[in-house]
Amino acid sequence: MARIIDIDTYVLKRKKMEKKENRTFGDFADKTVKALIKNGNGEAYTPEQAAGLADEILKAASSLGYHNDSATPIIEIIRGFGIDIRCTKNIPGDNAGVIYAGGKTEKVYGVDTIIFTDSREPFEHQRFVMAHELAHYLFDYEGNPVNKKASKNIRTFEETYPRKNHSSEKEVRANRFAAELLMPRNLFAREYNYAMDRSNNRIYTIKYLAKCFQVKETSIERRIYEVLYDGGY
């Protein structure tokens, strides 16, 4: 007969496992960042290459048990990179999020790198903003020796999630990274086909996918176009 584990023992084992997972994912995050620093070409990444890095992050996270059905555990992943996340109503300018790193960040906020999201935004959109800002951290901060060097002196690195105008190269790259991280194209295509086979109704499919991946319906509509007509990049 199988031995029944009491709840206290289970909780203790789970905590030990989580510590091991956090440490192991932290090792992966460190290697990822070191590779970007060594190459020093984060700003040269294409949207396709950025999506490729998002896939590597997902694979590492999945192998360590960081998964919750189809929705990417974006908060756990970002914290695995040593980045703090907070909500506020005081995002500067017409932006839904911002990341600060280096410079005076630690003096002001008590951490070296922090992402703020607008607490008035739906949580589904905040998830996308978080992933978008993680892209700026990887490609425009750690992967950019000019920004990294400046932040070691006095200038705090800052990148926002603008509510409008995502046409610049770095914003397109950040959006595609975020889309792949939250809505991986292979899984997205599979769930899209499942929903369409089940109902053949576009509205139902969009709502189903939005719930599945925990993102806004507008993000789903954009991702459908990217995956079906643009290869996910």
* Residue 176 half-sphere exposure toward CB, CA atoms < 13 A: 24
159 forms beta bridges with 99
The rounded distance, in Å, linking the Cα atoms of 162 and 11 is 42
114 forms beta bridges with 84, 100
The rounded distance, in Å, linking the Cα atoms of 136 and 42 is 9
Structure tokens at 36: 């970007």
Q: What is the DSSP string of 106-129?
A: HHHHSSSEEEEEETTS-HHHHHHH
Q: What is the pLDDT of residue 147?
A: 77
- The beta-strand segments (E) located in the chain are 84-88, 95-101, 113-118, 157-162
Phi, psi of 113 (to 5 degrees): -140, 135
pLDDT in tens, the chain (233 residues): 444 445 455 444 445 545 544 457 788 888 888 888 887 788 889 999 999 999 999 988 887 766 655 689 999 899 989 999 999 998 988 899 999 999 999 999 999 999 999 999 999 999 999 999 999 999 999 988 887 776 666 679 999 999 887 788 999 999 999 999 999 999 999 999 999 999 889 999 999 999 999 999 999 999 999 998 877 77
Please give the order of strands across the beta sheet that includes 113-118: 84-88, 113-118, 95-101, 157-162
